[in-house]
Structure 1
Amino acid sequence: MKAIVHDAYGPPAVLRLEEVEQPVPGSGEVLIRVHAASVDPGVWHLTAGRPYLIRAVGFGLRAPKTRVRGMDVAGRVEAVGPEVTRLRPGDEVYGTCNGSFAEYACAKENTLAHKPKNLSFAHAAAVPASACTALQALRDAGRLQAGQTVLVIGAAGGVGTFAVQLAKAFGAHVTGVCSTTGADLARSLGADEVIDYTREDPTDGTRRYDLVLDTAGNRPLSELRRALTPRGTLVIVGGEGGGRWLGGTDRQLRALLLSPFVAHRLRGLASSQHHSDLRLLTELIEAGSVTPVVDRTHRLADVPAAIRHLKEGHARGKTVIRVQA
């Protein structure tokens, strides 16, 4: 089968299309015929091996342990391994796995759910990692309640587009922060207000929010806290920039260390994907409350170009890889 592989860390150019052996599902796994996958910042970090922390936590110190890249996946179940109970061959599914930039991939059953009936495979592939991250940031780390005010920084990005819609579905008043080019998109997703960060500072303290969700940039904690109500909550998702060892994750670590000593709740987020959250997202998608935003699609061979597009900050919503028709 064809797959996107790499044997060394580096820029997107280290990725190449190659014929590899088709995987075999193990216990609790299913084999998926991949129709679509999507690109997220995690794919770039695992390709580059940066920050170096990700190498130390089990992804391979000197070279990637997993040759095939890609995480988000949508496709049909081809075969099931032992102890699989929910899924069967022929089921249309979406979720996450290791190695979705390939014609076939194996995934754990508990990281998959049945694909929303009203989504194509391409749009379904845009959902799992980013939508689960937004959901867990708002519901779990942020403890969002109906009637609260939310500031979503990075409202036109992969996680941000889902966060705006989910916060509205939960009954919040949502202000989105993005550049001029993303303002109309944020409004179309339901943002009550939009702040263009190229024209005004959303954290200057003139407006305060019950929850600030930072999905983009590398603003200092002191600036982000200015935008919080006296007992407000800050949730930091991911982190770009920073040093080569910790990258942007150092802000999350500093937030956790500072939180016990201030009135604000300061939280980082290490998201995960589980079929229970995917089922909830399916309900919201089929009800029309949440719609994935696809910025553009690429062929499997063009994964390096798709990652470059994301890394350069051009994507609005998600970039999708079409693998099979």
Structure 2
Amino acid sequence: MMRALAVDPDTQSSRIVGLPVPEVKPGQILVEVKVAGINEMDVEVRAGGWGGQVKRFRRDGPVLTGFEFAGVARTSGKRIRAGQRVMGYAPVLNGPRVHAQFAAVPESGILAIPDSLNDESAAALCVMGLTAVEVLERLCPVAPAQSCLVIGAAGGFGAYAVQLAASRDVNVTAVASAANESWVRAQGAHQFRPYETSPALSPGDAYDLIIDTPARLSFSSAAPFLSRSGMYVSSNPTSDPAGLVRSWFSSRRAAFLMMLKTSPSRLARLVELTEEGALRAAIDSIFNIAEADAAFDRFATRGKQGRVLLRI
């Protein structure tokens, strides 16, 4: 038997339950989860959202949240050996949830953790670090002396985007709460705009990349502030689909990103960037699994600095 977290969308609360340790299917690794991340999807599931996915998750049991983790492999596969520390995440929309003591996850989504990373850092970097890499290396590779605006720079994705852009000598302007200015500047931001008193976009701005982590803008509103070949990236693929279509007919571009799954090569690139110093774990707080409701509430609080984690 194992301890696991079950959330109740009707009461927007969680409880610890006892469940059988999951059986391992071909292509999976049984992982003893040590630390797991909390993401927007988890908070929305607890609040009653993602009905279709929740219905699918419920067929596997009451664990409905968690998809990124660091832990220890307890079975072996083609690449992973039992006893290795591993990091990764289950496919977001149809993978097993990992807010539990054990999870059977696809071997294709995990990587052995190097000694240079502890469990907390590995779990904190997984999804949001990979997302930043996806934007800044594949969607819109940035070069020295270019400019980047990161809205929501104190969150996990935002902090890693600032770090990675700054490591490439990109001129980074960050938007976040005034209370987080010193912390955001420590991530590498060159200019800072408090959202309480300053607009995210000002006359005369011309960015090569605008990253809108809260997805409050649109391509139409951002385009006048992009350079001729600049890109607007939103974290919500459903917030402005018309903008994506309009960008096809413009030298300025739009992209909408959701990292639904990963691969060993992507995770290896993430680790490489941490070992180079281009990325470092940004951790706001760590809660024990019995304090999960407080962890969910912390995630939903504006002004946090980096990732919120659960120690399983």
Normalising by the residue count of structure 2, what TM-score does the alignment of the two structures yield? 0.90
**Matches of 1:11 and 1:170, distance apart in 2:** 46
CA contact (8 A) 1:3 1:19 kept: yes
Q: Name whichever of 70-79 and 116-125 sits farther off.
A: 116-125
The SS at the match of 1:79 is coil
- In the alignment, what sits opposite 1:246? none
**Matches of 2:267 and 2:104, distance apart in 1:** 18
How much does 1:314 deviate? 4.0
How much does 1:144 deviate? 2.8
Q: Say yes or no: does 1:282 pair with 2:271.
A: yes
How much does 1:38 deviate? 1.2
CA contact (8 A) 1:165 1:189 kept: yes
Alpha carbons of 1:114 and 1:250: their partners in 2 closer, same or farther (altered >3 Å)?
A: same
Give runs of ≥4 in structure 1 deviating > 6 Å: none
CA contact (8 A) 2:219 2:232 kept: no
Structure 1 residues without counterparts, runs of 5 or longer: 239-248
How much does 1:85 deviate? 1.1
Q: Say yes or no: does 1:37 pair with 2:36.
A: yes
Deviations 1:107-132 (A, max 9, x none): 11111112242222122111111111
How much does 1:65 deviate? 4.3
Pairs within 5 Å for 1:50-129: 50=49, 54-56=50-52, 58-60=53-55, 64-66=58-60, 67-68=62-63, 69-80=65-76, 84-97=77-90, 98-129=96-127
How much does 1:317 deviate? 0.1
Q: Say yes or no: does 1:302 pair with 2:300.
A: no
**Matches of 2:84 and 2:122, distance apart in 1:** 14
Structure 2 residues without counterparts, runs of 5 or longer: 91-95
Q: Say yes or no: does 1:257 pair with 2:245.
A: yes
**Matches of 1:253 and 1:121, distance apart in 2:** 37
Deviations 1:292-315 (A, max 9, x none): 111111011111221111123242
Q: For residue 251 of structure 1, what is the amino acid of its counterpart?
A: S
- In the alignment, what sits opposite 2:27? 28
**Matches of 2:264 and 2:149, distance apart in 1:** 28
- In the alignment, what sits opposite 2:174? 176
**Matches of 2:136 and 2:59, distance apart in 1:** 32
The SS at the match of 1:290 is coil
- In the alignment, what sits opposite 1:235? 233
How much does 1:59 deviate? 4.3
**Matches of 1:103 and 1:161, distance apart in 2:** 29
CA contact (8 A) 1:142 1:235 kept: no
**Matches of 1:120 and 1:126, distance apart in 2:** 10
**Matches of 1:269 and 1:49, distance apart in 2:** 23
How much does 1:200 deviate? 1.5
**Matches of 1:296 and 1:275, distance apart in 2:** 27
How much does 1:192 deviate? 1.9
Pairs within 5 Å for 1:184-199: 184-199=182-197
**Matches of 1:262 and 1:113, distance apart in 2:** 39
Alpha carbons of 1:10 and 1:145: their partners in 2 closer, same or farther (altered >3 Å)?
A: farther
Q: For residue 310 of structure 2, what is the amino acid of its counterpart?
A: I
Q: Name whichever of 268-277 and 153-162 sits farther off.
A: 268-277
CA contact (8 A) 2:218 2:240 kept: no
The SS at the match of 1:90 is coil
- In the alignment, what sits opposite 2:93? none
Q: For residue 103 of structure 2, what is the amino acid of its counterpart?
A: A
How much does 1:4 deviate? 0.3
Identity of aligned residues (%): 26
Q: For residue 205 of structure 1, what is the amino acid of its counterpart?
A: P
Q: For residue 116 of structure 2, what is the amino acid of its counterpart?
A: N
Q: Say yes or no: does 1:273 pair with 2:262.
A: yes
How much does 1:137 deviate? 1.9
CA contact (8 A) 2:149 2:173 kept: yes
**Matches of 2:163 and 2:114, distance apart in 1:** 17
- In the alignment, what sits opposite 1:243? none
Q: Name whichever of 66-75 and 125-134 sits farther off.
A: 66-75
The SS at the match of 1:229 is strand
How much does 1:40 deviate? 1.2
Q: For residue 28 of structure 1, what is the amino acid of its counterpart?
A: G
